[in-house]
Structure 1
Amino acid sequence: MMNIECSSELNEQPQMLPPPPGTFIDREELIQHVGEFAVSQGYVVTIKQSKRDKVVVLGCDRGGVYRNRRKPIDESAAECIRRRRTGSRLTNCPFEVVGKKDDGLWVLTVKNGTHNHEPLKDIAEHPSARRFSEKEVLLIKEMTEAGLKPRQILKRLRQSNPDLLSTPKHVYNVKAKLRQGNMSVRNYKSLKPQKSAVRNNYLSVMEPSWRQHNPQRVPNLIGGRFVDSQSFASIDVINPATQEVVSQVPLTTNEEFRAAVFAAKRAFPSWRNTPSTIRQRIMFKFQELIRRDIDKLAMNITNEHGKALKDAYDDVLCGLEVVEHACGLANLQIGEFVSNISNGVDSYSIREPLGVCAGICPFEFPAMIPLWMFSTAVTCGNTVILKPSEKDPGAAVMLAELAVEAGLPNGVLNIVHGSNEIISTICDDDDIKAVSFVGPSTAGSYVYSRASAKGKRVQCNFGAKNHAVVMPDASMDTTLNALVTAGFGGAGQKRMSLSTVVFVGGLTPWEDKLVERAKALRVQPGTEPDTDIGPVISKQAKELICRLIQSSVDSGAKLVVDGRNILVPGYEHGNFIGPTILSNVKVSMECYKEETCGPVLLCMEADNIEEAIDIVNRNKYGNGASIFTTSGVTARKFQTEIEVGQVGINIPISAPFPFSCFTSLKPLFAGDINFDGKAGIQFYTQIKTVSQQWKDVAAGTSSDV
């Protein structure tokens, strides 16, 4: 029986899927989307009905039936007509999709997604494969005006397109249409399939416009499609090592933002009702694709951010851990059940997604932070509007491409770009239910106050001035290695970098070896395999770091190692700063009170552990703190009395694994629920409590609550 079933499955007619519904900027984009998807499935669509500014109806080109408009004169003629009817390609195929204009956007719906015929085995056999492209039509027009004959025109066209299947007859037809003035080039081109179309592969009829720019423009992702912004304003993404323009980030227009929110809102009902097991399967596929493309992701991060390639890999891998965690989120969404709280009454709670959520990302971790945000959010059943950093957006867009490839439905994940204006728009939008933010303190405070005033759920993590307390009994080599790695790694731009070290008992026993290790670090472009410190993100960042260093020296700090004037051969214009060590730093100095965000290690001294703890607790940017000691009593005292969200004992501060929460304390965290772990699930879901009672009507019994 099993063999028979398997055999019948193999003999089944291949399924031709309808195009996924979605929202589009204009009519032509919708038509092109349907046409491209149809070709990938083995059928061709035509425009059945169109009112340019209202509606367009697309159907399979095999829809309808052959109609004889002539009366047969004799039996032989009737027989000929019957043969003509039998040989017709028309099968009255019921497939039909409709695009309607709604509030300035074009919305695609599937009216009938079925076909009554087999798919094309070779799309090149279809008559439409012999159509000319828009460019070819224009060339035909020019060559006709120049006096060339159809065969000469065809010969020249084939020089640039050897795969051209058209014949001189098709050239004659184009010339006739051009003379009559009824050649609708744009629509004609949008439905043209490509000869190389392969079933079940999504193919583009033409290269997306955002890829045609030089430098390439970073696209928006709206309703499942990567589209070039209509905005003329853009921000250059600069390679920090070479100062070359890597790409351009458009400032997403308000209309495009509304389209993204509309797409997310429209996708939410079906996505929230998608079984959690299916959502998890998409995450399984997603993590597989990230591993496949990790080299490309890491190289993109290095080119845009500047961090060493090994740090870029760590960036992706830390984000990948969140995706892996999302593969099993169903266990963390289990509610609670209390049986028979009253006569025949049960009560239970369930966790439900919020709706449209937004994520605003910093530049420090171009891959990890976006994955922090949207992986958990979408697996919980939400849809997402993601705004990557305008300084290094490439990794987020690449991850979104992989998420779409993994099977994330259209509209579940959307990407918009911009700076301050788009952040304000996100905070103000009534359809966005929650906002997650990581970034500078000033921006974080602004986002929290503005978004929470609109009644949104908000989590904002900001600030970066982490401390290490070194006790006299600490292991010398282990401690120094940790300080150098955590203080200078990622050019000191990581939000969990150890920027300040408090030496209990004095710096003197540690200074020489600390300086020796710092000077041994290799400062060069991140693409070099042995790089320890790459450039900082921008010239403005370099200028700020240098200003804070000079301010410290002017205030009495000792410049033990000065990395400001370092030159990297071949990269003289890069934003490089070498490892810098300042000693005799006081709490009143500007370099201590402000976020440095560079490869600068501030060294302070304390007489005892109590004084060291007091120094850490008084700093408003104390995101995390570590202690290095061989005394369990001292470590326990530090753990208990220190007022930070992340504590390290004999290890530097690091982002925790995704199954534990990333905790920060006020004023470095604004909101009620932290990132990751169970807290991440709580942030992206809301609790609904249900009380139920079932009466036995047949028995005539009832219960009073």
Structure 2
Amino acid sequence: MVRELSHFVGGKLTAGTSGRFGDVFDPSTGEVQARVPLASSDEVRAAIDLAVVGQQIWGDMNPQARARVLTRFLALVERDRDDLARLLSSEHGKTFDDAKGDIQRGVEVVEFAVGAPHLLKGEYTSGAGRGIDVYSMRQPLGVVAGITPFNFPAMIPLWQAGPALACGNAFVLKPSERDPSVPLRLAELFTEAGLPDGVFSVVNGDKEAVDALLFDDRIQAVGFVGSTPIAHYIHTTAADQGKRSQCFGGAKNHMIVMPDADLDQAADALIGAGYGSAGERCMAISVAVPVGQETADALAAKLMERARALTVGPALEPGMDYGPLVTAAAVERVSGYIAQAIDQGAELLLDGRGLVVPGHENGFYLGPTLFDRVTTDMTIYREEVFGPVLIIARADDYEAALAMASDHEYGNGVSIFTRDGDTARDFAARVQVGMVGVNVPIPVPIAYHTFGGWKKSMFGDLNQHGPDSFRFYTKTKTVTSRWPSGIREGASFVIPTMS
């Protein structure tokens, strides 16, 4: 039976009225499991109407009271964690354990946001001038919006909503229409935790809903994660409308493997970081860069052995290393990259196309694919594939490997595996990439540091979570205060100074 999904507006599930719907698939079987309404501009504006009202109540609450609501929300997520993970797996296709990790990384940012009473403290200077005090305060922006991708339907909405709500804003979420059920369930849990009606809304939709958020004057800031072309569009459109934005785009993450590295450790790291979640991660390692031909030959052999042993199958079946891709279109797109790489001269070591899982023949599966001797002019090196495809791009020496990662138009994440501290320190200082791992394959910072890439991986000035999130979701007001002592000094026509 095909489920009929809703929006979540004004503290309750709300049926769509546009008459437009999108299909939500079960990637493991290929069957349509639900229909999601695609909001009209009027429906988005109605959600913003209620968000404005709810924000006035929420923003007037003290930070400690808001933190208590977030704390109750965390307890409810813990209560329902397994159910949320199963729901996530059924629509996205990632394994049950991976789905729990998706939820956990979002939870950690909300845990950080519970520290809002401290993080929202301003600054104070007594006696800045004679009888003058200066202080600052952080205040909420008002109503803000998040536009989030299919590949992390719990983590990314919570990365945005946690700090935004803690700062006293109302939050309107437009999640991916491919797997919207977990965001809807999170909205229900926020309401159960005591969030006032309208403060967290979910409007499902496509470009019409996105543009309705971008062009509504009441939306003060927009967060986005997705492809680079759309990140650029949202950033420039938001700027034209006078809105703040933090827009995160594509990635092509390299792992440099030095000759002194533990190659077994490096190979294991590459397999997990390259093929986990079917490669549908913006922080996936998709380019292995072994330094020296001897290192490359040895690493390629180890990767072949490990990749061939991977088990691919239904998302909720125990023992799977990874599950299906999110849609049939995704399988077709990734398969096209594989064919193009072969045509351009890359050496195909392992071909994952045509994988059939018994009993799930219509599922969206693609086996692990491995290329060697990929060069920097090939399409599969230059563009983000977003699938279970790992490429080996050999480097003659350390400087060549450093340049390869630094010169790519994307600058999201990079790793180096080495036993040498001098090399690691030099690499971390010089590489032109926003997030760096040293013997860590997926360098996603913990919640109280900020997450963000460079170059075409990020548009905007402030990163996600950590201290930057509180700067992004608040505006600073600075007050200069003087209480007269009763002595009249007459009018002054000179600009005030601290002398």
Q: Is TM more than 0.5 here?
A: yes
Q: 2:234 aligns with which of 442, 447, 462?
A: 447
Counterparts of 1:640 and 1:254, CA distance in 2: 46
Counterparts of 1:631 and 1:221, CA distance in 2: 52
Higher relative contact order (CA 8 A, sep 6+): 2
State the 1:622 CA deviation.
Answer: 3.0
Is contact 2:350-2:371 (8 Å) kept? yes
Pairing 1:596–2:385 present: yes
**1:53-64 equivalence runs, <5 A:** none
State the 1:254 CA deviation.
Answer: 2.1
Alignment partner, residue 570 of structure 1? 359
Where 2:425 maps in the other structure, the secondary structure is helix
Across the two proteins, how many residue pairs are aligned to each other? 489
Q: 2:66 aligns with which of 269, 279, 286?
A: 279
Is contact 2:279-2:387 (8 Å) kept? yes
Q: 2:154 aligns with which of 367, 371, 386?
A: 367
State the 1:666 CA deviation.
Answer: 2.0
User: Where does the alignment leave 5 or more consecutive residues of structure 2 unmatched?
Assistant: 491-495
State the 1:323 CA deviation.
Answer: 1.4
Counterparts of 2:212 and 2:198, CA distance in 1: 19
Alignment partner, residue 263 of structure 2? 476
- Deviation readout 1:573-604 (Å, 9 max, x if unpaired): 11111111000101111111111000100101
- Deviation readout 1:171-197 (Å, 9 max, x if unpaired): xxxxxxxxxxxxxxxxxxxxxxxxxxx
Alignment partner, residue 106 of structure 2? 319
Pairing 1:353–2:148 present: no
Counterparts of 1:533 and 1:288, CA distance in 2: 29
Please give the TM-score of this superposition, normalised by the length of structure 1.
Answer: 0.68
- Deviation readout 1:327-385 (Å, 9 max, x if unpaired): 11221111110111112110001111101100000011010000011111011000011
Where 1:272 maps in the other structure, the secondary structure is helix
Letter in 2 for 1:354: L
Counterparts of 2:30 and 2:405, CA distance in 1: 38
Alignment partner, residue 308 of structure 2? 519
**1:10-29 equivalence runs, <5 A:** none
State the 1:228 CA deviation.
Answer: 0.4
- Deviation readout 1:425-478 (Å, 9 max, x if unpaired): 111111100000000111111111111110000000111210000011101221
Alignment partner, residue 282 of structure 2? 495
Counterparts of 1:297 and 1:654, CA distance in 2: 25
Where 1:287 maps in the other structure, the secondary structure is helix
State the 1:703 CA deviation.
Answer: 6.9
Q: 1:538 aligns with which of 327, 336, 355?
A: 327
Letter in 2 for 1:453: D
- Deviation readout 1:655-678 (Å, 9 max, x if unpaired): 211100002112211111111110
Pairing 1:254–2:41 present: yes
Q: 2:394 aligns with which of 605, 611, 630?
A: 605
Pairing 1:662–2:443 present: no
Pairing 1:639–2:408 present: no
Counterparts of 2:363 and 2:31, CA distance in 1: 10
Alignment partner, residue 182 of structure 1? none
Amino-acid identity (%): 43
Where 1:307 maps in the other structure, the secondary structure is coil
Pairing 1:306–2:116 present: no
Alignment partner, residue 222 of structure 1? 9
Radius of gyration: which is bigger? 1
Q: 1:486 aligns with which of 273, 282, 288?
A: 273
Q: 1:421 aligns with which of 200, 205, 208?
A: 208
Is the deviation greater in 684-693 or in 238-247?
A: 238-247
Is contact 1:646-1:653 (8 Å) kept? no
Alignment partner, residue 244 of structure 1? 31
Q: Which runs of 4+ in 1 moved over 3 A?
A: 700-705
Q: 1:560 aligns with which of 323, 345, 349?
A: 349
State the 1:421 CA deviation.
Answer: 1.5
- Deviation readout 1:484-532 (Å, 9 max, x if unpaired): 0001000000110000011100211222221111111110111012110
**1:614-693 equivalence runs, <5 A:** 614-693=403-482
State the 1:253 CA deviation.
Answer: 2.0
Is the deviation greater in 601-610 or in 267-276?
A: 267-276
Is contact 2:228-2:456 (8 Å) kept? no
What root-mean-square deviation, in Å, do the aligned CA atoms of Structure 1 and Structure 2 show?
A: 1.2
Counterparts of 1:551 and 1:625, CA distance in 2: 25
Alignment partner, residue 82 of structure 2? 295
Counterparts of 2:443 and 2:2, CA distance in 1: 36
Counterparts of 1:446 and 1:324, CA distance in 2: 32
Counterparts of 2:252 and 2:414, CA distance in 1: 9
Alignment partner, residue 493 of structure 2? none
State the 1:409 CA deviation.
Answer: 0.3
Is contact 2:145-2:222 (8 Å) kept? yes
Q: 2:336 aligns with which of 547, 552, 572?
A: 547
Counterparts of 2:461 and 2:104, CA distance in 1: 28
Is contact 2:64-2:116 (8 Å) kept? no
Counterparts of 1:340 and 1:702, CA distance in 2: 19
Alignment partner, residue 579 of structure 1? 368
Pairing 1:529–2:283 present: no
Counterparts of 2:324 and 2:120, CA distance in 1: 42
State the 1:695 CA deviation.
Answer: 3.0
State the 1:702 CA deviation.
Answer: 5.2
Is contact 2:252-2:286 (8 Å) kept? yes
Where 2:393 maps in the other structure, the secondary structure is strand
Is contact 1:464-1:597 (8 Å) kept? no
State the 1:248 CA deviation.
Answer: 1.1
Please give the TM-score of this superposition, normalised by the length of structure 2.
Answer: 0.96
Is contact 1:359-1:387 (8 Å) kept? yes
Counterparts of 2:392 and 2:139, CA distance in 1: 48
Is contact 1:237-1:392 (8 Å) kept? yes
Pairing 1:510–2:299 present: yes
Pairing 1:384–2:137 present: no
Counterparts of 2:64 and 2:404, CA distance in 1: 49
Is contact 1:468-1:498 (8 Å) kept? yes
Is contact 2:8-2:201 (8 Å) kept? yes
Is the deviation greater in 290-299 or in 559-568?
A: 559-568
Is contact 1:343-1:703 (8 Å) kept? no
State the 1:217 CA deviation.
Answer: 2.2
Is contact 2:286-2:391 (8 Å) kept? yes
Where 1:606 maps in the other structure, the secondary structure is coil
Counterparts of 1:239 and 1:654, CA distance in 2: 30
Is contact 1:646-1:663 (8 Å) kept? yes
State the 1:652 CA deviation.
Answer: 0.7
State the 1:216 CA deviation.
Answer: 2.2
User: Where does the alignment leave 5 or more consecutive residues of structure 1 unmatched?
Assistant: 1-213
